[in-house]
Amino acid sequence: MNCELEKPRHVVRKFHSRPQHEGVGAVVRRSIGRFELRYFDPFLVLDEFSVAAPAGFPDHPHRGFETVTYMLEGAVMHEDFQGHKGLIKAGDLQWMTAGRGIVHSEMPADQGVSKGLQLWVNLSSKNKMIEPKYQEIQSKDIASTSKNGVTVRVIAGESMGIQSPVYTCTPTMYLDFTLKPSSHLQQPIPSSWNAFVYILEGEGIFGLEKSGPVGAHHVLLLGQGDGLEVVNRSSKMLRFVLIGGEPLGEPVAQLGPFVMNTDEEIDQTVDDFQYFVNGFEKARHWRSEAMLD
């Protein structure tokens, strides 16, 4: 063991995420953000998405939060109304702070099916109207280390002695773990944070040993404590992400891709978007190349 936890967190809620349709012909398994789990402060959405041309997520706006796209297979072409454009390939990360406003398209750019995770992290009232910003990291540059059968890729925060360069407006940890059969893990998590696990592959025992194994496409909300204990008692690889963040403790007013604190701010946002003001100026004439094809 790399450390000893004093009070390991237990799983307090568990959901299986079934495929549903989103965007235009795309399929997502939504864990956070589904009806039974509207909000897990500061997290608004976690989607495991699968998309193949001609399906995708064509031109749409965001305000008041961040989208974090982590590709698992294939690639997504991203294009926004400021002329920011690029390919997000398998293993790559795009941490997009929409702030006061982004309009963009996210379309598959590979033969076959492109897959990934998209997380929506809420911004505090003081950060909702900041300038949009991107942090983009290629797969080869994502901090990673292995020890005793456990591999971690550090998307945000710190694990096993290594740190991500990503700046998180809302304090956030995002760790991609792979555990070989018979390996186990102890990962500290700040006690005041909300944290959850989403399983990508294989099965593992999370929290209490007697709780039994949980498999792919499940989301596990963790209760109070100072960290997470996981063991892989199966004969296959276990891969999951551990995501945690400091709760904002603020009211949430949401209308689709706009997330503010009050209904008045949502009304203002709808007006801003409709009249191309307060950060949406460039939306007036912009269409993605994907839409012009």
Of 22-30, 126-134, 178-186, 211-219, the window that binds ligand FJE (rule: CB under 6 A) is 22-30
Q: Is 290 in the site for ligand FJE (CB under 6 A)?
A: no
Site for ligand FJE contains 15 (CB under 6 A): no
By CB under 6 A, which span of 21-29, 126-134, 195-203, 215-223 interacts with ligand FJE?
21-29
Q: Residue 42: is the preceding peptide bond cis (ω within 30°)? A: yes
Chosen residue from 11, 27, 28, 123 binding ligand FJE by CB under 6 A: 28
Instruction: Kindly state the smallest distance separating residue 67's Cβ from ligand FJE, in Å.
Output: 7
Contact residue for ligand FJE among 8, 23, 132, 202 (CB under 6 A) = 23
| List 11, 47, 225, 238, residue binding ligand FJE (CB under 6 A) | 47
Cα angle at 30 between 26 and 32, to 5 degrees? Answer: 145
Q: Candidates 20-28, 128-136, 155-163, 190-198: pick the segment binding ligand FJE (CB under 6 A).
A: 20-28
Which one-letter amino acid corresponds to residue 137? I
The residue within the footprint of ligand FJE, chosen from 15, 43, 57, 95 (CB under 6 A), is: 57
Output 98 or 150, the one with its CB closest to ligand FJE.
98
The yes or no reply on residue 69 touching ligand FJE (CB under 6 A) is: yes
CB nearer ligand FJE, residue 93 or residue 185: 93
Scored b (16 or more CB within 10 A) or e, 138-148 reads: eeeebbbeeee
Give the total of residues touching ligand FJE (CB under 6 A): 13
CA–CA gap between residue 39 and residue 24 (Å, rounded): 24
**Amino acid type, 43:** F
User: Interface with ligand FJE includes 118 (CB under 6 A)?
Assistant: yes
Instruction: Name the residues that contact ligand FJE, by CB under 6 A.
Output: 22-23, 28, 47, 49, 57, 60, 69, 76, 106, 118, 256-257
